[in-house]
Structure 1
Amino acid sequence: MALISGKTSIRAHINFTVVLGILGAFIFFLGFALLMPALIDLVYNEGTWQAFLISAAIAFGSGGLLWYLFRPKEELRIREGFLIVSLTWLTLSIVGALPFVISGILPSFTDAVFETMSALTTTGSTILGGETSSGFQNPQIEEIPKSFLFWRSLAHWLGGMGIIVLSLAILPLLGIGGMQLFQAESPGPTTDKLTPRIQETAKLLWGVYVAFTTAEFILLWVHPSMDWFEAINHAFSTMATGGFSTKNASIEAFNSVYIDWVIIVFMFIAGINFAMHFRLLRGDFKSFFDNREIRFYGLVIMVSILVISSTLWIMDKYELFEAIRYGSFQVLAIVTTTGFGTDNYEVWNTAGAFFLFLLFFTGGCAGSTGGGIKMMRWVILIRNTGREIKQIIHPKAILPVRIGDQAITQNIQRTVLSFFVLYIFMFGLGAFIISLFGYDFMSSVGASIASIGNIGPGWGDFGPTDTFAHLPFLGKWVLIMLMMIGRLEIFTVMIIFSPAFWKQ
């Protein structure tokens, strides 16, 4: 109920004008992002600035018109927040695909949306360099203009921390009702609010994000193998845990131990909750190192590096240092869902490859830019399993699930379990649908988990040395939806398909 001018009125359970107005603001903001690749084109003079300028004009015109006509005058509610977030990621992927189509680099609209959704959701799957099911040969990564390479990486970077969180940081006009958007868009089972004001929280998180990106950019740029353009692109992709590279062979193309270890370190950083990074930078070492999720994250990575590096050394006869180098890189690339590559894991020994496949179901920490199931959910699931075993032995005992000194409520436990079941179901459904197009078991499984986990490379026909270009039209749209569902943590998207969502 709302009191307006002394009269009581009933507001509809979803105000679609509010949804359209805020959606217009996000489209308008994307217009500014589309201008940046145009500036890159002016530097390299490759003649593609018109495609970005036209796309930006479309974004400014349509977004500005929606905002002008439907500018919200009421506070957002949670249903509107969920609807806005889902529509925003889909709409921005469509608008962000326009430069590819206008320029003619990707004449297929589906391929353009696939590449853009893969960028914004930080998935890193690509259709570049492969032949489509209709027989068109998409250009190689190194053949497309630098402005488009920059656009892919910039979209990674914006999508990593979240376009909506960025907008909340710099657009005061979205301050009202901002928490609904922040909670609906931010990754992880919990949202760590550092300050009472949502705009201040968003600014702090983005400040940390920018600082780490700048640090990585400088460390990469000082190496002679990378110029400033390659350094900024890979810094964007790393901190967003995206995985798009300026090279067909990804990081392997640079053949540098130094570059590999710089990216390994920053992939590890990107997989940690950025709120915890903020506390660490402020000198709160205790909160950071006592955090159970970070400890578990570090343990999983160390054990995985030990196992995989050992199999490469013993079974694949790699030199010890090389085994540690390639094993560490690929573990971090998969656990954090970055998806960069320095080695073809499909030709590894069976034990190492299988162990790496299991890591496709992990993910970074809650509140990081990584995708996947997330470490916090695994911590809760493992603790709950241990509790159930103890409960069988001591049926009358009251045994709460605890992480440190904090008891995990039944509501959170149910939510985590429901998420896990739905995640596995959606992964299985995606793999089944891909198999209907004639792909083998590992190719179908790999395409599905790579998309819903926002990892990038999969297995089989979609492995680290392959592309997704040959997938038929409908198959690409299935993966487009899986990428969005995975990026928005499933519930955010699936809830809008629930009949209860649309009922008063």
Structure 2
Amino acid sequence: MIDQLKQSKNRPRIDFKLVSGILGGLIFFLGFALLLPFLIALIYNEPSWEAFLITATGSMAAGSALYFIYRPVEELRMREAFLIVTLTWFIGSLIGALPFTLSGTLESYTDAVFETMSGLSTTGATILGGETPAGIINPAIEDLDNSLLFWRSLAHWLGGMGIIVLTLALLPLLGIGGMELFRAEYSGSTSDKLTPRIRETALLLWTVYLGMTAIQFLLLWLHPAMDWFDAINHAFSTLATGGFSNLNDSVGGFDSVYIDVVITIFMFLAGINFAMHFRLFTGDLKSFLGNREIRFYTLLTALFIVGVSGGLWLIDHYSFGDALRYGSFQVLAILTTTGFGTDDYALWMPFTSFLLFLLFFTGGCAGSTGGGIKMIRLLIIAKNVGREFKQIIHPHAVLPVRVGNRVIDSGILKTILGFFVVYFLIFLAGALIMSFMGYDFMSAMGASIACLGNIGPAWGDFGPTDEYAHVPILGKWVLLILMMIGRLELFTVLVIFTPWFWKN
């Protein structure tokens, strides 16, 4: 015990060897994942197989070398954990961009990194089909090799569940010991730790994720408009709440009510805490139905479906069936930050457009693959506002903020309030930078919140039928950094830029 204490004191404040070793393992895993699109390229006899093989073997060689040279033997600490997560998404995007450039599909490496970060962060913003400021015309989505289309969707799928596993391990490091913050952020309950060990919990969540992906794949494949390749790509993108499609017109290109309904249902399911899905699949219906965050999420979804569909029917003069079909699909696509499209909401009347715009500031449940602010935070803030009104009437009463039977600790409440402030400051900074580059008010605001919230399509020059190719290089790096910050829950990335992170 004494030797362990001495060894701990002798460790540097940040063990870069430990960081390098773990990053090596993650880079190796990324290289291994790149073998899947390599196989797709071989199946379809596409020349991009060489780009995937070079990237995959290079990543596995570099990753294994780092891992064995700096094999992790010490316990991972808070600073190293934050650094590893941020570098994983950033380096993963740098590596994952190589097949796009090595295959000659994209001339601009910045565009390739943007597309890959958009995939890994489950944002779904694309530069395909547009012209860059340098006059380079990027290929349309349907002009890409199938292997590259598969890689875009696979990046979604890996990034979507990857963030749950990583935040499962990191949330307790955000200032509150044990599983306390995970419980508060992920469900508001006291029993969301599925098993005593995080490794076992992560395995169970991956099992649920894989199972739901397989079910949606089979349901989509049943429709004659989709072959197996269409089905697997859209299943990956839906469960990850990413939004990449292998059609230029997104899901709307299939023009199928059945496909719209299946994807709408699975977008809703993907926006729910996956720990709650596990409880539901194991027969614990009471926990699932009694979860306050799921109730709030369902209520908000229903209200906006009624509002948007009603607006499309009564104001935009859609038929009742079309209004419900397109309204419910688009509400779930934005609320869960998936970003799929079946209709151009930029052409809707102001009432319905404004309702949809409000959803850009929501997000799925914590513990889901959805990005954004998250439902549990919105619920706790709403509860806190209600408490403040009661406090005015009863100034001497002790009125705790409750979610169900759980009293929200003041420390957690301060963290959530701080998150809101930082979130909107970053959003405004992103919008300011985009406006400085010459974009109009709605375009600048839309691009900033769509990337920070991991939604993808936005407003103005970045609407559901547009792309991000025309953004200057600096703007693309700003937006892809916003994607990463938003995906990794803000503080995970921002903390490494504070002086306190590097000091004892």
Distance 1:451 1:210 in 2: 26
SS of match in other structure, 1:426: helix
Is 1:315 paired with 2:309? no
Alignment check: 8 A CA contact 1:164 1:181 kept: no
Is 1:335 paired with 2:331? no
Runs of 4+ in 1 over 2 A off after TM superposition: 4-10, 163-166, 178-193
Is 1:54 paired with 2:54? yes
Q: Report the residue type matching 2:185 in the other structure.
A: P
Distance 1:121 1:7 in 2: 37
User: Aligned residue for 1:179?
Assistant: 169
Query: After superposition, where does 1:473-488 map in structure 2 within 5 Å?
Result: 473-488=473-488
Is 1:396 paired with 2:386? no
Q: Evaluate the alpha carbon distance shift between residue 202 and residue 308 of structure 1 in structure 2; reply closer, same or farther with a 3 A threshold.
A: same
Q: Evaluate the alpha carbon distance shift between residue 81 and residue 8 of structure 1 in structure 2; reply closer, same or farther with a 3 A threshold.
A: closer
User: Aligned residue for 2:366?
Assistant: 366
Is 1:189 paired with 2:179? no
Alignment check: 8 A CA contact 1:82 1:181 kept: no
Alignment check: 8 A CA contact 2:164 2:367 kept: no
Greater shift in the superposed pair: 193-202 or 354-363 = 193-202
- Which TM-score applies when normalising by structure 1? 0.95
Structure 1 position 90, deviation (Å): 0.2
Structure 1 position 9, deviation (Å): 4.6
Q: Evaluate the alpha carbon distance shift between residue 237 and residue 384 of structure 1 in structure 2; reply closer, same or farther with a 3 A threshold.
A: same
Q: Evaluate the alpha carbon distance shift between residue 86 and residue 7 of structure 1 in structure 2; reply closer, same or farther with a 3 A threshold.
A: closer
Structure 1 position 148, deviation (Å): 0.2
Distance 1:215 1:251 in 2: 18
Query: After superposition, where does 1:243-392 map in structure 2 within 5 Å?
Result: 243-392=243-392
Q: Specify every segment of 5 or more residues in structure 2 that has no aligned partner in the other structure, as ranges.
A: 175-180
SS of match in other structure, 2:66: helix
Structure 1 position 43, deviation (Å): 1.1
User: Aligned residue for 2:10?
Assistant: 10
Query: After superposition, where does 1:65-144 map in structure 2 within 5 Å?
Result: 65-144=65-144
Alignment check: 8 A CA contact 1:3 1:9 kept: no
Alignment check: 8 A CA contact 2:78 2:173 kept: no
Q: Report the residue type matching 2:279 in the other structure.
A: R
Is 1:412 paired with 2:407? no
Task: Percent identity, please.
Answer: 63
Size of the aligned set, in residue pairs, is 494
Distance 2:304 2:183 in 1: 24
Q: Report the residue type matching 2:89 in the other structure.
A: W
User: Aligned residue for 1:211?
Assistant: 211
Q: Evaluate the alpha carbon distance shift between residue 8 and residue 262 of structure 1 in structure 2; reply closer, same or farther with a 3 A threshold.
A: closer
Is 1:423 paired with 2:423? yes
- Which TM-score applies when normalising by structure 2? 0.95
Q: Evaluate the alpha carbon distance shift between residue 187 and residue 490 of structure 1 in structure 2; reply closer, same or farther with a 3 A threshold.
A: farther
Distance 1:120 1:333 in 2: 18
SS of match in other structure, 1:195: coil
Q: Evaluate the alpha carbon distance shift between residue 136 and residue 500 of structure 1 in structure 2; reply closer, same or farther with a 3 A threshold.
A: same
Structure 1 position 7, deviation (Å): 7.6
Q: Report the residue type matching 1:30 in the other structure.
A: L
Alignment check: 8 A CA contact 1:457 1:463 kept: yes
Alignment check: 8 A CA contact 2:164 2:368 kept: no
Structure 1 position 49, deviation (Å): 0.4
SS of match in other structure, 1:332: helix
User: Aligned residue for 2:23?
Assistant: 23
SS of match in other structure, 2:3: strand
Structure 1 position 468, deviation (Å): 0.2
Structure 1 position 165, deviation (Å): 2.9
User: Aligned residue for 2:149?
Assistant: 149
Query: After superposition, where does 1:209-248 map in structure 2 within 5 Å?
Result: 209-248=209-248
Alignment check: 8 A CA contact 1:119 1:155 kept: yes
Q: Evaluate the alpha carbon distance shift between residue 227 and residue 407 of structure 1 in structure 2; reply closer, same or farther with a 3 A threshold.
A: same
SS of match in other structure, 2:358: helix
Q: Evaluate the alpha carbon distance shift between residue 63 and residue 367 of structure 1 in structure 2; reply closer, same or farther with a 3 A threshold.
A: same
Q: Report the residue type matching 2:169 in the other structure.
A: M
Distance 2:488 2:299 in 1: 26
SS of match in other structure, 1:3: helix
Say what the alpha-carbon RMSD is for the aligned residues.
1.9
Q: Evaluate the alpha carbon distance shift between residue 81 and residue 6 of structure 1 in structure 2; reply closer, same or farther with a 3 A threshold.
A: closer
Structure 1 position 2, deviation (Å): 6.6
Structure 1 position 73, deviation (Å): 1.1
Q: Deviations 1:54-76 (Å, cap 9, x if unpaired)?
A: 00111012111111211111010
Alignment check: 8 A CA contact 1:194 1:201 kept: yes
Distance 2:62 2:161 in 1: 25
Alignment check: 8 A CA contact 2:360 2:455 kept: yes
Distance 1:229 1:223 in 2: 12
Structure 1 position 106, deviation (Å): 0.8
Structure 1 position 3, deviation (Å): 1.6
Distance 1:370 1:316 in 2: 29
Alignment check: 8 A CA contact 1:360 1:455 kept: yes
Q: Deviations 1:26-48 (Å, cap 9, x if unpaired)?
A: 00110111110010011111221
User: Aligned residue for 1:440?
Assistant: 440
Q: Evaluate the alpha carbon distance shift between residue 390 and residue 54 of structure 1 in structure 2; reply closer, same or farther with a 3 A threshold.
A: same
Distance 1:8 1:69 in 2: 21
Q: Evaluate the alpha carbon distance shift between residue 390 and residue 5 of structure 1 in structure 2; reply closer, same or farther with a 3 A threshold.
A: closer
User: Aligned residue for 2:202?
Assistant: 202
